[in-house]
Amino acid sequence: SDGAKKIFVSFLQLAALASTMNIPWPEGYFELFKIQSMVSSVGEEYIDIRCTLSEPMSIAQIQYIKTLGYALTPLVLVLLSVVGWCVCGRGYPTEKRNAMRTGTIVLVLYFVWPAITSSILQLWKCHDYGDGVGSVFLIDPETKCTDSTHLLWRNLLGWPCVVVYILGLPTAALLALYRYRNQLDSALTQVRFGMLYDGFSRDNYMHEFWVALRKLLIIYIGIFSDKLQVLLAIGVVGMLLVHTVMVQPFKTRSLTILE
């Protein structure tokens, strides 16, 4: 059941990422993507400051502040998890409380990683029109990617987030799994990191890397590819599903079929 739950969450996250593509989806599809994003990750509905502004602000400035909000979200969630278990988990033994606190942190970071990745990479969503126009920030065509303000946000916020979140969180997860590779059947290890390897066989306990890679490539295609987005996305998903069929990483055949 844990493996099925994780497959279901990954499906919702991957499907919601389809909204990042430059495709004229029917309006009903956008509503579906919003619901999937709200259920499986931190969507635009949770971080949208436009309705709180008393004065008009450029689209680029709004995007910068939203990106900052996404960057601060993991820190806030981790802090709330720590405080919550310190205050409300006093009835548990210390070792179990610490394990459940770690498990909560892993869970919330697992949920927010795709949304954070998508938001951060959009700082590089530029197009060079040439003919004296230069590189334009596509989210706000009135802003150039060579403007000092845009470069400041991209260098001081974007690059650190790429290192810490987009690359750092998956790397930290793999290192944690490798460290506990001989204790994967331990109850406390399952509480801590079960979200990362539930449903996988012990020989393929790091298969979540390929799941994360699939999400990252779909995000990259949606943001940086101008043409053939659908074909590229289908190709990525198809190749990684073929890899899944060949490796057979799940404990049971039914989970493989579900994936």
Report in angstroms the alpha-carbon separations of 78 from 21, 75, 81, 102: 30, 5, 5, 9
Residues 202-230 pLDDT 10s: 999 999 999 999 999 999 998 888 788 88
- Asked if the model's pLDDT at residue 45 lies above 60, the reply is no
**Mean per-residue pLDDT over the chain, rounded:** 88
> CA 93 → CA 78, 97, 106, 151, 191, distances in Å?
21, 6, 20, 49, 14
The pair of structure tokens assigned to 209 is 């890397």
Q: What is the pLDDT of residue 137?
A: 92
Residue 66's pLDDT is 87
The pair of three-digit structure tokens given for residue 41, joined into one six-digit string = 């990750």
Closest CA to 199 of 143, 120, 252: 252
Query: Quick one: CA torsion of 74, 76, 79, 80, rounded to 10 degrees?
Result: -110
**pLDDT digit string, tens, across residues 117-143:** 999 999 999 988 877 778 999 888 889
Give the predicted TM-score (pTM) of the model: 0.86
d(CA 14, CA 233): 11
Give the closest residue to 127 by CA, choosing from 60, 225, 61: 225
Q: In the predicted model, is pLDDT for residue 190 greater than 90?
A: yes
Alpha-carbon span 98 to 68, nearest angstrom = 29
Q: How far is the C-alpha of 230 from the C-alpha of 23, rounded, in Å?
A: 9
The 8-class DSSP code of residue 183 comes to G
Phi, psi (rounded to 5 degrees) for 200:
-90, 150
The pLDDT value recorded for residue 195 is 92
CB within 8 Å of 39: residues ≥ 6 apart: 12
Asked whether 128 and 119 are in contact (CB, 8 A), the reply is no
User: pLDDT of 158-173, one tens digit each?
Assistant: 999 999 999 999 999 9
Asked whether 198 and 2 are in contact (CB, 8 A), the reply is yes
